[in-house]
Structure 1
Amino acid sequence: MSPHEAPEPSPRKKTARETAAPGPRTLAIDIGGSGLKALVLGPDGKPLTERQRVATPKPSTPKAVLGALKKLLEPLGTFDRVSVGFPGVVEEGVTKTAPNLHKSWAGFPLAKELLKVTGRPTRVLNDAGVQGFGVIEGRGVEMVLTLGTGMGCALYVDGKYVPNLELAHHPFRQGKTYEEYVGNAALKRVGHKKWVKHVQRVLEQIQPIWNPRKIYVGGGNSKLLDIPLPENVQLTENVAGLLGGFALWKDEPVPR
């Protein structure tokens, strides 16, 4: 798909790293239930800019979110392509579900609409899937859980992503789904100490079913896990949800 013409963002003084890093620059966007985040990655997949963040609009309709993203991107300078992590099921750039956003996201052509906004080719993947690409080792079965507004989940086999695994909405216990048990609403309802026990139970349930070699736990609320974790469980930095955006373009040749 050929990029549409779009006006260039306001000029911004380039850092020494930007000047010394020729090649495609990837705008990485993370759409969350509570926040929208973005930064630009260099041709080596490392950040060229500081992370920008704004609150997710309420109501979080596609129009409102796209408007907020346009303002969010202004200080980030130029880029050649766009990667987006979205909190729901995504098929070929179209968002199918968005449990923690407005219902009007069902069937929304996000990749196409962001192409119009940015003038750059865009790829969209489930947000937990993108986060995993920022941390996985690419060996055996690896799993990612994100703890934030809801609960995200992604599964990889030898580095290959299994798309749209929505474990969060599967029944877990006491008539609640995984997300209802460990999402942000549960944290507020039961308090920190009891919520941590809920997360422990989720990890215990996952281990004998999926038998992952490693489980990576991220998301804004993962920092609250102040307890010893199983040896194969690793906490990750929240920025992984942006850094993983580079992998969405790994099949594209790097210009020489």
Structure 2
Amino acid sequence: MGATRGFGVDIGGSGIKGCVVDLTAGKLDGERVRIATPTPSTPEAVAEVVGDIVTRFDWDGPVGVTLPAVIKKGTAKTAANIDKSWLEADAGALFTKRLGRDAGQVVVLNDADAAGMAEIRYGWPGDQDGVVVLLTFGTGIGSALFLDGKLVPNTEFGHLEIDGHDAETRAAASVKDEEGLSWEEWAARVTRYINGLENLIWPDLIIVGGGVSKKADKWLPMLDVRTKVVPAELRNDAGIVGAAVAATLAAES
């Protein structure tokens, strides 16, 4: 990777975060900016926030943007935790226009895929071996799947049906807060979810990210699963870092 700095924006159901990224170290280069996700979170409203964040840093290079959606050739195919008007929206063209960039200077990708790319690139070398899953627990549950360090894009393991329910409606971090669950009660739900995932793909390692990864000591020991589970090393900054990596790689290709 030739560039030493990049820029990433991570769009979530509750907040939009962006920052310059040190691509050598795999960490934020300065303080990130976070702005609440607009309500309703329409493409136009979200694009305005993204434009505002990038402008605050006076950044004129390539930009990576994550969305909590399946992304195919820049187009959003799902919209689990953002406004439904994102469905079939050309997110790549939208952000490219709003940011005033040339074609190819803006890359849009799934938020969990971006976080996973960052963890695989900058995490422990052993994290790349075999079947590795990154799960982000936030407003919903995002997932990224890797085989020997290579991404299999757009997995939607947060929407597995567990006990008749969409998994993220029972085990997302937001559900813990909304229902006032204790760490033990929430960990039991996460256990049930991971058991279902284990029986489906038999991973060698699970990396957990999202805001709750900062408090991994409070709930990881309570999980009753057969797979090794570790907290994401980049914590909640992984999406920003991965987005910057993706944009820089695309610009250099």
User: TM (normalized to structure 2)?
Assistant: 0.83
**Structure 2 residue aligned with 1:77, among 33, 53, 58?**
58
User: 1:86–1:126: 8 Å Cα contact kept in structure 2?
Assistant: yes
Quote the Cα distance in structure 2 between the aligned partners of 1:169 and 1:232: 22
Tell me how far apart the structure 2 counterparts of residues 205 and 42 of structure 1 sit (CA, whole Å): 37
One-letter amino acid of the counterpart of residue 6, structure 2? T
Which residue in 2 is equivalent to 1:87?
68
Higher relative contact order (CA 8 A, sep 6+): 2
Q: Which amino acid aligns with 1:177?
A: D
Partner residue, 2:123: none
Per-residue Cα deviation, 1:94-149 (whole angstroms, up to 9, x for no partner): 11111111110001111111111222311111100000011124321110111100
Partner residue in 2 for 1:234: 230
Cα RMSD between the aligned structures? 2.2
Residue in 1 aligned with 2:200? 209
Number of the residue aligned with 2:14: 34
Quick one: distance in 1 between partners of 2:249 and 2:241? 13
Aligned partner of 2:139: which letter? T
Aligned residue identity for 2:31 = E
How many pairs does the alignment contain?
232
Amino acid at match of 2:97: K
Q: Which has the larger radius of gyration?
A: 1
Give the distance between the partners of 2:5 and 2:58, measured in 1 at CA.
10
Alpha-carbon distance in structure 1 between the residues aligned to 2:214 and 2:28: 22
Q: Which residue of 2 aligns with 1:180?
A: 169
1:47 corresponds to which of 28, 34, 56: 28
Distance in 2, Cα, partners of 1:209 & 1:170: 10
| DSSP-derived class of the 1:59 partner | coil
**Deviation of the 1:251 alpha carbon:** 5.5
Shift of 1:167: 1.5
Partner of 1:243: 241
1:161, distance to aligned residue in structure 2 (A): 1.1
Deviation at 1:77, TM superposition (A): 2.1
User: How far apart are the structure 1 equivalents of 2:68 and 2:148?
Assistant: 24
Residue 146 of structure 1: aligned partner: 136
Q: Residue type of the partner of 1:123?
A: V
Partner letter of residue 54 of structure 2? L
Q: Give % identity.
A: 36
Instruction: Report deviation, 1:68.
Output: 1.7
Q: Which residue number in structure 1 is paired with residue 157 of structure 2?
A: 167
* CA distance in 2: counterparts of 1:83 and 1:194, whole angstroms: 36
Deviation at 1:76, TM superposition (A): 1.3
Aligned to 2:100: 119
| C-alpha displacement of 1:26 | 2.0
Larger displacement relative to structure 2 (106-115 or 75-84): 75-84
Distance 1:206 1:23 in 2: 37
- CA offset at residue 24 of structure 1? 6.2
Residues 1:43 and 1:168: Cα distance change in structure 2 (over 3 Å): closer
- Gaps (5+ residues) in structure 2? 121-126
- Relative to structure 1, the CA distance from residue 200 to residue 224 in structure 2 (aligned partners, 3 Å threshold; closer, same or farther) is farther
Offset of 1:190 from its aligned partner? Answer: 5.5
Matched, 1:66 2:47: yes
Letter in 2 for 1:221: V
- Give the alignment's TM-score, normalised by structure 1: 0.82
Whole-angstrom distance in 1 between the partners of 2:238 and 2:3: 21
Contact 2:131 2:145 in 1 (8 A): yes
Distance 1:115 1:25, change over 3 A: farther
Stretch of structure 1 that moved more, 214-223 or 40-49: 40-49
CA 1:247–1:27 in 2, change beyond 3 Å: closer, same or farther? closer
